[in-house]
Each structure stands twice: as C-alpha cells, then as structure tokens.
Amino acid sequence: MSILKALFFIFRGLFVNRRSLILENLALRHQLAVQQRTAKRPKLQNRDRFFWAWLSRIWPAWKSALIIVKPETVVKWNREGFRLYRRWKSRSKRVGRAKVKKEIRDLIRQMFRENPTWGAPRIQSELRLLGYEMADSTVFVLRVQQQIPNPPVA
C-alpha cells in the first residue's frame, strides 16, 4: 500500500506546480500544529486566522487542504480583517473641535472686554473683517471659557 501511495505522490508531483504543493504542505502542516496544540477542539488564535486569510488570497486551491474549519469561516475572517484595516486607515487623527490660536483667543478676549454690549455674532463679523474665519458658536464658547459675562440687555 505504501508503494501505491509513493507512486501516487510522485505522479501527482509531476503534474501539479511546485508552488501549489508548497502551499498545500504549509496549510496541512499548520493544521497539524493547531491539532497538536489543543486537545479536543482546535482553538484558533489570531495568528491562525491571519494565516488562513493570507493563504486564501495567494493560493486558489486553499479550500481543498482545509480540514479544521469551514471555508466560509476563512472568508469571514478575511472580510473582518479587511474591515479592521479600513477602519484603522480611515480613522480620524484629530478628535473634537480644532484648536484656536492663542493670538485669536486673546483678540476675542480683548474685543469682549472693550465692547461689553457686543455678542458673539458681532465679534465673529469683526473677526471676519480682520481675515479670521470662525463660527459664532466658537466665539461664544471661547467667551464662556474665559468667563466673560453676557452683554447687558437693553
């Protein structure tokens, strides 16, 4: 029987390209290592999932060597990995409101101090005339942060 097996593998080696055989051998060895690592049910780690997702990308016949999990599971791991990659790639570097320069904060503070009847929209208009684009809500927030009292009601 072992002679037939040997002949089968030799015959198969003649017709299957070397890259495919190497990848199949790698896949089978990996599954064997996972089986030896666990007793009853194979416990796959993140590196195992990554390995199968990677192998499914580079080897078209990866499903034929898969024994310990279903091919759909590997496809799911691949999608999850891509989703995590896209989330990481598109995450925002800055969170929250953009920082206002100190000179502009000082200017707003000075304008509120010198003109106590002006509100945030008026200060925003004056800043726009000076070349600073800023929302009136930002001016209002800066006024509140600096604890400047509301203008008197007329």
Which residues of the chain register pLDDT less than 50?
none
The answer to whether the CB of 78 falls within 8 A of the CB of 57 is yes
The per-residue pLDDT for 15 is 67
Phi-psi label, residue 43: left if phi above 0, alpha if psi -120 to 50, beta otherwise: beta
48 CB-near residues (< 8 Å, 6+ apart) = 30, 34
Instruction: Provide the H-helix boundaries in the chain.
Output: 2-15, 18-37, 46-58, 71-89, 102-114, 120-129, 136-145
The per-residue pLDDT for 146 is 58
Question: CA 117, CA 58: separation in Å to the nearest integer?
Answer: 70
The answer to whether the CB of 89 falls within 8 A of the CB of 52 is no
Task: Give the angle 63-68-73 at the CA atoms, nearest 5°.
Answer: 60
Task: Give the angle 63-68-71 at the CA atoms, nearest 5°.
Answer: 35
State pTM to two decimals.
Answer: 0.36
The answer to whether the CB of 83 falls within 8 A of the CB of 75 is no
The per-residue pLDDT for 16 is 66
pLDDT per position as a tens digit, 52-80: 888 888 888 778 777 777 788 888 888 88
Q: Residue 71 has which token pair?
A: 């091919």
The per-residue pLDDT for 139 is 85
The per-residue pLDDT for 69 is 76
**Which amino acid belongs to residue 43?**
K
The per-residue pLDDT for 74 is 80
Task: Break the chain into its structural domains and give their ranges.
Answer: 15-88, 102-145
